[in-house]
């Protein structure tokens, strides 16, 4: 079987969406104006646009935050925890919220936060008790990770640290494992260089 680069796979997936999926009729897509016809995604989109018009506009910062993955957190002196990472901020608004109850009973009095799994070095905390604004918070070991990393790499780093006798809550060790993994993927294998802890498995 042929091997493809990530960019080649991405291009093939985009071509399939544009030339196949969006052009093919589906039974679940019907317009009230033409109930007897099954429509493609492109045709279904065109129907309301033809009736109401379309005007593009930029996404606001608030809308951008709402599109991120939600996490409901408790605010303590050490910060907030999202996916086994601690986030903190010097913003005085966060200090005012420390130890408070959100009043959102559906989420056990925790506060709403949002994060991007492809850029988890920062997250956003919604301080609705003192303002309806988002507070930017940083991962406390952000300085250990100078290269781009993702939630997926963080999970791999966590598995590696635990399998090599470390603790799941040792965030600094996990960050170093992620950094070493990024270095190896960037530089490639070198003869004689031992594999990073992330790439080895501890034997009993």
In the chain, what are the domain boundaries? Answer: 6-52, 61-140, 151-199
Distance CA 2, CA 15 (A): 18
pTM over 0.75: no
User: For residue 51, what are its two tokens?
Assistant: 């009736």
Chain segment 46-87, per-residue pLDDT in tens:
877 777 777 778 888 889 999 999 999 999 999 999 999 999
d(CA 39, CA 35): 10
Reduced 3-state DSSP string for 49-110: HHHHCCCCCCCCHHHHHHCCEEEEECCECCEEEECCEEEECCCHHHHHHCCCCCCCHHHCCC
Name the nearest CA neighbour of 161 among 196, 126, 137, 186: 196
Q: Which of 175, 187, 5 is nearest to 198 (CA)?
A: 175
pLDDT tens digits, one per residue of 121-146: 999 999 999 888 899 999 999 999 98
pLDDT grade, residue 204 (50/70/90)?
Answer: very low
Closest Cα to residue 197, out of 162, 167, 152?
162
């Amino acid at each position: 079987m042929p091997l493809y680069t990530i960019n080649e796979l991405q291009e093939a997936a985009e071509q399939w969406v544009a030339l196949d999926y969006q052009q093919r009729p589906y039974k679940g897509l019907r317009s009230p104006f033409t109930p007897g016809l099954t429509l493609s995604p492109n045709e279904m989109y065109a129907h309301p646009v033809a009736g109401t018009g379309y005007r593009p506009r930029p996404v606001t910062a608030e809308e951008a935050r709402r599109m991120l993955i939600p996490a409901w957190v408790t605010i303590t002196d050490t910060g907030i925890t999202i996916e086994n990472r601690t986030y903190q901020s010097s913003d005085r608004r966060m200090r005012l919220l420390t130890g408070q109850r959100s009043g959102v009973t559906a989420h056990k009095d925790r506060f709403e936060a949002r994060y991007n799994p492809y850029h988890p070095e920062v997250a956003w905390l919604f301080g609705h008790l003192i303002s309806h604004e988002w507070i930017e918070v940083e991962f406390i070991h952000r300085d250990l990770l100078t290269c781009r990393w993702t939630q997926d790499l963080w999970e791999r780093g966590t598995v590696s640290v635990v399998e090599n006798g470390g603790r799941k809550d040792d965030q600094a060790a996990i960050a170093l494992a992620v950094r070493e993994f990024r270095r190896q993927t960037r530089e490639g294998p070198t003869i004689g260089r031992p594999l990073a802890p992330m790439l080895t498995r501890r034997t009993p």
